[in-house]
Structure 1
Amino acid sequence: MPAPEPSLLQVIVLAIVQGITEFLPISSSAHLILVPELLGWPDQGLAFDGAMHVGTLAAVLWYFRKNLWPLTRDFGLSLRGQGLTPNGRLAWAVLLGTLPAAVAGLLLHDVVETTLRSPKVIAATTIGYGLLLLLADRIGKQRRDEYTFRWRDAALVACAQALALVPGTSRSGVTMTAGLLMGLTRAGAARFSFLLSIPITALAGGYELLKIAQTGPTAALDMTLLAAVVAGISGYLAIAFLLRLLQSRGMTPFVVYRLLLGAYLIAAFY
């Protein structure tokens, strides 16, 4: 029996949640698991997950539209042996930072979607990686921007992003943590995390859309389009909000939120 189609309220709420939490360091996967569970909603299905990924991808592409052409241009120049500029180096860092997570996602997808989708796992990762983010925010030298990447930096970020497959870790949170530990400024770590989201979000959305193509659409077109638009708008606003907040408050508000959420999950499910 096919799962019931999400209601209009569910689509709007989950698209807002996806758009906000995809870029803030608080874990989108955790919230997309917890919100339906706490509200008693049915699983929203692949069509809506794919649409929301398309929306957040559009948000980051639009926000960084002026940065993407220099990155693409200089990446192409480096492939032709014409030197490695700061833009080219950053483009290579994004590419190398994506590969391990993409491979791990393909190999571990079933485990992530079954065994690890539990409130207990989310509670542990929410608190643990929240404390690690706080530590990185306190001890990081914060002297470099994202254009100063070295190869060892890219390797560290690549390993960090692969960890984000576990719900509750937060892809943006763990990559910002890695960036801060490497000495990036808060804004630099955040911008690099956002750029790093482009290929991985495209891969995740493409994988979901491929599965939909194999099984056939399961949701109305107007509802999936709505999910994409709402996720895109909320994602764009989340990027702008985070970059402004980091200048005055740092990572502390997000760490506090993660600790409170983790404490609630422990009280509710342990």
Structure 2
Amino acid sequence: MDFSYAQAVLIGAIQGITELFPISSLGHAVLVPAWVGGQWSNFTTDPNSPYLVATIALHTASALALFIVFRKRWAGLIKSAAGSLTGRHNAESSVFWRLVVATIPVAILGFVFEKNLRVLFSKPLASAIFLTLNGCILFTVEKISHSKSVSEKVAEEDKHITQSISVKSAIAIGFGQSLALFAGISRFGISMSAGLLRGLSHSTASDFAFLLALPVIAGASLYKLPDLFLPENTHLLGPILVGSIVSFICTYASISFLVRWFKTRTLYPFAIYCLVVGLFSILRFAG
């Protein structure tokens, strides 16, 4: 099956925009081809389709954008974590180890259930249902966090994530992230929702979610990236390279936008978007 440069650019833009918006990049990777129809509808159903390989490569570009934006933060976290091995513990080293703990559950579950979940990758109705569920989760979490006046209560706690996210909470967030293995559930949205429920402000919850996104996205994409260089996929390198550049640029722009957004705003617009698109997609693909 062919994979054109125009398709690569469009898919790269969708991946870059939706990866860190709490609206599920994987859900959109399933629903967009289904909505467009024609040859696009074969992307997720044809076993010989280059779409899955391309999507993995575009995720790698998103991971690179995350690393570049937060490189100084990661350098500090890694340095502090190395120091903690010799007994020099501080807040940053605790954040690092909580990120490790939160990554383990989704890594294990993703590896174990990869083949089963790949079947759902070709089912737009399932993705539409999960996207609607994602909207319900975001909306409910916002209602709960607002009812508790979280922003005012934890202004002091925002100084250190570790004061609100214990090791047990990190494990819970890790298992919560595993829901994002289903196309339609947003990994970033689940991570941020867990932070809000633990009493973090939107800004600090999004900060933890950004940090947590890198090891998960990078691990998943690098694990499958060698498939791109198989002999049967070498003709895809040109379009995928172009799509990856677009994905990188859009991811970088999305991070900049969301960092500013969550300083003063909430998840409500994203919840409404997921509910509207999810419900319309259910109506479209239920027949």
Alignment TM-score > 0.5, same fold: yes
State the AA in 2 paired with 1:63.
V
Match of 2:23 among 19, 22, 26: 26
Question: Which letter does structure 2 place at the counterpart of 1:97?
Answer: A
Greater shift, 140-149 or 94-103, is seen at: 140-149
- Name the counterpart of 2:34: 37
**Stretches of structure 2 lacking an aligned partner (at least 5 in a row):** 44-49
Summarize the alignment of residues 91-110 of structure 1 with structure 2, pairs less than 5 Å apart. 91-110=96-115
Q: Report whether the alignment pairs 1:245 with 2:250.
A: no
In structure 2, give the amino acid aligned to 1:37.
A
135, 140, 144: which one pairs with 1:139?
Answer: 144
Q: Is the 8 A contact 1:47 1:219 kept in 2?
A: no
Percent of aligned positions with the same letter in both sequences?
31
Alpha carbons 1:98, 1:200 under 8 Å: kept: yes
Q: Which residue of 2 aligns with 1:172?
A: 188
C-alpha displacement of 1:164: 0.9
Q: Work out which of the residue numbers 122, 126, 130 in structure 1 matches 2:127.
A: 122
How far the C-alpha of 1:96 sits from its partner, in A, is: 0.8
Partner of 1:195: 211
Report the equivalent of 1:16: 13
Q: Within 2, Cα distance between the matches of 1:113 and 1:132?
A: 23
Q: Counterparts of 1:46 and 1:227 in 2: how far apart (Å)?
A: 13
| Matched pairs, number | 266
Counterpart amino acid of 1:94? L
Which runs of 5 or more residues in structure 1 are unaligned? none
- State how far apart, in whole Å, the 1-side matches of 2:134 and 2:35 are: 22
2:169 aligned with 1:153: yes
1:79 aligns with 2:85: yes
2:199 aligned counterpart, secondary structure: coil
* TM-score for both structures, normalised by structure 2: 0.87
The aligned counterpart of 2:245 is 229
Deviates more, 1:246-255 or 1:17-26: 246-255
Which amino acid is the alignment partner of residue 126 of structure 1? L
* TM-score between the two structures when normalised by the length of structure 1: 0.92
Distance of 1:248 and 1:169 partners within structure 2: 24
C-alpha change, 1:147 and 1:234, in structure 2 (3 Å) is: farther
